[in-house]
Amino acid sequence: MDTAGRVALVTGGSGGIGAAVVRRLAADGYSVGVHYARNNLTADRVVADAAAAGGHGLAVGGDVGDEADMAAAFDAVETAFGGIDVVVNAAGIMLLGPIAELSLADLDRMHHTNIRGTFVVSQQAARRIRPGGAIINFSTTVTRTQYPGYGAYVASKAAVEGMTLILARELKGRNITVNAVAPGPTATALFLDGKDDATITRLAEAPPLERLGEPGDIAETVAFLAGPGRWVNGQVVFANGGLA
């Protein structure tokens, strides 16, 4: 597929896996809307990275769970670049704790960003993406490994998987693919925060490839689904080094 001239919007694009996705798509010639929730300076740096990689970037802010904010973000990208071909739902938060002890406020925060946010963005994407486009959501390998302490987070990502598989079928006839990527342990601030060295080492040694994933590893999978992977649709793709 010739990806030059295509347009993407990446939520959570100002850091972590989202920023790696922006850079990777820009290297393929995409113009990319780089979404941020709070830190526009970080988003501006990723926009500069996109230009250096050979693409174009535009920082767009807002709460992914707010319909008006996301409609405005989509409007800005369409106005700047003429339309949207790919939407990557990389925005997410992870708050851990046993189900018996987790704060319901933390549960509600994850629901707002991970479930409602994915739904709001997917809704806008389903209305606006051009034929030949792709929607790529984010799940997690922990839906299969089922580590204690991840119950609320996994519940939010299992909901994302369900939305993904149904939306793929609802868009039948539009030539739009809808998939989810489920990373394993990946060296991002989201993953590393709150973990001691022993825990990080144990998780790094768990996959057969015996290392943590890097954001660029996940970005390669996203780039495939966004561009040449047109026969992959309605799937959850595990990018985890063989963990499970």
Identify the structural domains of the chain with CATH numbers, from first to last.
7-239 (3.40.50.720)
Biggest CA-to-CA distance, the chain:
50
* Catalytic (active site) residue 153: yes
pTM to 2 decimals? 0.94
pLDDT > 80? residue 112 = yes
pLDDT tens digits for range 154-175:
999 999 999 999 999 999 999 9
| Whole-angstrom distance, CA of residue 144 vs CA of residue 139 | 11
> Residues 91-118: what's their mean pLDDT?
97
Residues 6+ apart with CB under 8 A from 193: none
What per-residue confidence (pLDDT) applies to 166?
A: 98
- Convert the chain into a string of H (helix), E (strand) and C (coil): CCCCCCEEEEECCCCHHHHHHHHHHHHCCCEEEEEECCCHHHHHHHHHHHHHHCCEEEEEECCCCCHHHHHHHHHHHHHHHCCCCEEEECCCCCCCCCCCCCCHHHHHHHHHHHHHHHHHHHHHHHHHCCCCCEEEEECCCHHHHCCCCCHHHHHHHHHHHHHHHHHHHHCCCCCCEEEEEEECCECCHHHHCCCCHHHHHHHHHCCCCCCCECHHHHHHHHHHHHCCCCCCCCCEEEECCCCC
Higher pLDDT, 143 or 1: 143
Confidence of residue 215 (pLDDT cuts 50, 70, 90): very high
Find the mean pLDDT for residues 102-121.
Answer: 98
Mean predicted lDDT score pLDDT of the chain: 95
Q: Residue 50: name the closest of 71, 69, 72, 33 by CA.
A: 33
220 falls in which pLDDT band (50, 70, 90)?
A: very high
pLDDT band at 204 (very low <50, low <70, confident <90, very high): confident
Catalytic residue among 30, 36, 150, 153: 153
Token pair of 125 as six digits? 């994407």
Amino acid found at 49: D
